[in-house]
């Protein structure tokens, strides 16, 4: 195992397992270029920002500034809506085996409400929770979607949902294990939890496109399952989606052994990020194929943005 490039960092305590041995993967925020330390816990192999911001700072950021910082808007643009609707269709198709007709869904981190709106268009009883006031207001105004503007822990749990979804939420939370534990209170006895997070082992990301201040934790398929097990969830299904950038998993409440990954996983992660350079990235044919595919998706987003006058039109045409 190589030595960490930062031997003067303040005391490290893993936010997942409490381990204290770490290897620094990055010291820069890829979005802003500002200093940001992301360290890999050598015990559980979960990477994380250190030190983590306090709860009040996070609450203010996600309710008032997150969307403005990362998308530059207070409410989604039409191209963002087209992208979100396309993703909602894909996610609902993935979740079809877990959804009976008329099932009740709760989408945590609902964004502009497109997943909730598409699910309702398909006959499900769906609602959402979104901390950002502008995006939650857009969901209610554009789709009449029941999306509450509040953090999850500020709401009274209702154990009435057959499926709870959290797409690209877990990596933003200060205490993922505690948050996962609370989600059991929203499910019916036969209910399930679906999670989507970025894949730390993704091999084709640009060198500046992995570590950000808003992403407090980084998972692999193995460490996501391990984190869920700590909160009382048993893994039902896992897949690495797309070209490997995203992990999707379904869990049910239940005891599951917490198995620490082998040391080889931490070694694989550190080796991956030690090799990541702009030269290798730009020399990869797969990267250029991915860029061409992205151009096609962007063209599709602009086409439907032009064809659809209102956000609701996107739902009607594409859902």
The per-residue pLDDT for range 208-244, each reduced to its tens digit, is: 999 999 999 999 999 999 999 999 999 999 999 988 9
Give the span between the Cα atoms of 281 and 48, in whole angstroms.
23
Name residues of the chain where pLDDT drops below 50: 1-9
> pTM for the complete prediction?
0.93
Q: What is the pLDDT of residues 128-151, one digit of tens each?
A: 999 998 999 999 999 999 999 988
Model pLDDT, residue 59:
85
User: Cβ(16)–Cβ(46) under 8 Å?
Assistant: yes
DSSP reduced 3-state for 46:
coil
Angle at 127 between CA 123 and CA 133, to 5 degrees: 140
DSSP reduced 3-state for 29:
coil
User: Cβ(311)–Cβ(85) under 8 Å?
Assistant: no
**Positive/negative CA dihedral, 79, 83, 89, 95:** negative
Neighbours of 99 (CB within 10 A): 19
Model pLDDT, residue 278:
94
Domain 22-318: CATH superfamily is Vaccinia Virus protein VP39 (3.40.50.150)
User: Cβ(101)–Cβ(123) under 8 Å?
Assistant: yes
Provide Rg for the chain, Cα atoms.
20
Model pLDDT, residue 10:
62
Model pLDDT, residue 11:
85
Taking the alpha carbons at both ends of the chain, their separation in whole angstroms is: 48
Model pLDDT, residue 152:
82
């Amino acid at each position: 195992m190589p030595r960490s490039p930062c031997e003067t960092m303040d005391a490290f305590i893993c936010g997942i397992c409490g381990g204290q041995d770490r290897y620094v993967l990055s010291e820069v925020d890829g979005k802003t270029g500002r200093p940001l330390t992301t360290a890999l816990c050598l015990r559980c192999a979960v990477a994380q920002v250190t030190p983590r911001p306090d709860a009040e700072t996070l609450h203010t950021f996600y309710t008032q500034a997150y969307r403005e910082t990362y998308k530059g808007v207070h409410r989604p643009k039409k191209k963002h809506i087209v992208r979100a609707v396309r993703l909602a269709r894909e996610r609902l198709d993935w979740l079809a085996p877990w959804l009976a007709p008329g099932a009740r869904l709760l989408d945590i981190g609902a964004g502009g409400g497109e997943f909730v709106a598409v699910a309702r268009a398909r006959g499900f009883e769906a609602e959402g929770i979104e901390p950002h006031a502008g995006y939650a207001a857009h969901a209610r105004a554009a789709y009449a979607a029941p999306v509450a503007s509040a953090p999850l822990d500020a709401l009274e749990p209702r154990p009435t949902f057959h499926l709870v979804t959290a797409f690209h939420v877990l990596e933003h939370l200060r205490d993922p294990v505690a948050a996962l534990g609370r989600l059991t209170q929203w499910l019916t006895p036969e209910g399930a939890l679906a999670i989507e997070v970025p894949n730390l082992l993704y091999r084709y990301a640009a060198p500046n496109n992995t570590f950000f201040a808003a992403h407090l934790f980084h998972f692999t398929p193995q460490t996501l399952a391990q984190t869920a097990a700590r909160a009382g969830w048993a893994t039902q299904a896992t897949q690495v989606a797309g070209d490997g950038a995203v992990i999707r998993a379904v869990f049910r409440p239940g005891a599951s052994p917490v198995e620490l990954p082998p040391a080889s996983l931490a070694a694989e992660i550190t080796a991956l990020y030690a090799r990541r350079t702009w030269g290798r990235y730009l020399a990869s044919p797969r990267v250029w194929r991915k860029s061409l595919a992205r151009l096609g998706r962007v063209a599709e987003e602009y086409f439907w943005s032009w064809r659809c006058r209102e956000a609701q039109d996107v739902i009607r045409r594409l859902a």
